[in-house]
C-alpha cells in the first residue's frame, strides 16, 4: 500500500487500439478488459496491473494519489487551493476516485482503494519508477501538495527549480518549474518507465510512430529518453542508476 498522498495508479484516455499496439511492444504489457468500464483495458506486467487505457481524446497521463478517506482528502485539497473537477464517487467495486486541477491547472486524481489497490510492482521493465509534475507554477504547486497531502518538500540541487515530495522518509515524486523559454509547453504529469535498454527502446518508439524528443542521455539518475506515443502523450524511458 502506498503512503498517503503518493502515486498509486496512472491512466490515459486515447486511441485504445493504437495504444495497446504501442505500449504492448515498448513496455511489454499484456491487456485485459476493465470490468464495468466499456472500452477500458488494464496494462499488465506478469499478471499484475500497471496502468489503465481508455477511449477518448488523447491526453497526458493522469496520476492517482493514494488516500484512505477520499472525503477528508477532498476537503484538504479544496482548502489548499485545488479546483474540484470530478467529485468523489464510486468506480464500481474497484474503489473511489476524485479529480482536481491543481493551482497550476494540471489534473490530478485521488484514489481510495476498493478491490483495486493500484499498481503493485515497480522496477520491472515497463513499470513506473518515478512521477514528475512539470508546472508553470512550480512553487505554488509544491506548496499545494505539501499542505494538502502532508508531504515534505525538498529542493533538489542543480540549475533547475525542482522539488521532491517525500513521505515516510523517501522521495515519491517531483515538481519541476517549467522554464519561461518553454512556457508554451503544457503543464503535465510525466511518468518515468523502467527500461533496461533505453537506446533500443527509443528506436522502437520511433519505429512504432512515437517521437523521441530528447536523448537518450545520461543523468545522475540513469540513462533517459524523453518520448511521446503516437498520439502525442509524453513519457520517459529510464534505466535507473540504482
Domains and CATH numbers, the chain: 7-113 (3.10.180.10), 128-240 (3.10.180.10)
108: its cell numbers: 490530478
Crossing angle of helices 198-207 and 16-27, in 10° steps, is 150
DSSP 180: G
pTM above 0.85, yes or no: yes
Burial of 203 (0-12, 13-18, 19+ CB in 10 A): middle
How much is the average pLDDT of 72-98?
A: 96
pLDDT in tens, 169-226: 999 999 999 875 454 467 899 999 999 999 999 999 999 999 999 999 999 899 999 9
Measured over the CA atoms of residue 106, residue 107, residue 112 and residue 113, the dihedral's sign is negative
**Other CB atoms closer than 10 Å to residue 129's CB: what's the count?**
19
pLDDT in tens, 97-146: 999 999 999 999 999 999 999 998 788 999 999 999 999 999 999 999 99
**pLDDT reading at 35 higher than 60:** yes
Exposure string over 213-233, b if 16+ CB within 10 A, otherwise e? eebbeeeeebbbbbbbbbbeb
In this prediction, residue 183 carries a pLDDT of 46
pLDDT in tens, 133-185: 999 999 999 999 999 999 999 998 877 889 999 999 999 999 999 875 454 46
What is the rounded distance in angstroms from the CA atom of residue 242 to the CA atom of residue 239? 9
In this prediction, residue 159 carries a pLDDT of 75
Virtual torsion, Cα 41, 19, 202, 215, nearest 10 deg: -100
Residues 6+ apart with CB under 8 A from 25: 204, 208
In this prediction, residue 184 carries a pLDDT of 46
What is the rounded distance in angstroms from the CA atom of residue 206 to the CA atom of residue 86? 35
Amino acid at each position: 500500500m502506498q503512503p498517503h498522498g503518493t502515486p498509486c495508479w496512472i491512466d490515459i484516455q486515447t486511441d485504445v487500439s493504437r495504444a495497446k499496439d504501442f505500449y504492448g511492444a515498448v513496455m511489454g504489457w499484456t491487456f485485459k478488459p476493465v470490468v464495468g468500464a466499456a472500452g477500458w483495458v488494464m496494462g499488465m506486467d506478469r499478471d499484475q496491473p500497471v496502468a489503465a487505457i481508455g477511449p477518448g481524446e488523447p491526453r497526458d497521463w493522469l496520476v492517482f494519489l493514494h488516500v484512505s478517506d477520499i472525503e477528508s482528502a477532498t476537503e484538504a485539497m479544496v482548502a489548499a487551493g485545488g479546483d474540484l473537477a470530478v467529485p468523489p464517487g464510486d468506480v464500481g467495486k474497484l474503489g473511489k476516485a476524485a479529480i482536481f486541477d491543481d493551482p497550476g491547472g494540471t489534473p490530478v486524481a485521488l484514489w481510495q482503494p476498493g478491490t483495486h489497490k493500484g499498481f503493485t510492482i515497480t522496477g520491472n521493465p515497463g513499470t513506473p519508477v518515478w512521477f514528475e509534475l512539470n508546472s508553470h507554477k512550480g512553487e505554488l504547486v509544491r506548496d499545494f501538495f505539501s499542505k494538502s497531502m502532508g508531504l515534505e518538500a525538498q529542493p533538489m540541487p542543480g540549475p533547475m527549480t525542482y522539488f521532491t515530495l517525500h513521505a515516510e522518509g523517501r522521495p515519491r515524486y517531483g515538481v519541476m518549474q517549467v522554464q519561461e523559454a518553454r512556457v508554451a509547453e503544457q503543464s503535465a504529469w510525466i511518468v518515468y518507465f523502467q527500461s533496461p535498454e533505453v537506446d533500443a527502446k527509443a528506436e522502437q518508439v520511433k519505429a512504432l510512430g512515437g517521437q523521441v524528443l530528447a536523448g537518450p542521455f545520461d543523468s545522475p539518475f540513469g540513462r533517459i529518453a524523453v518520448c511521446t506515443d503516437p498520439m502525442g502523450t509524453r513519457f520517459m524511458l529510464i534505466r535507473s542508476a540504482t
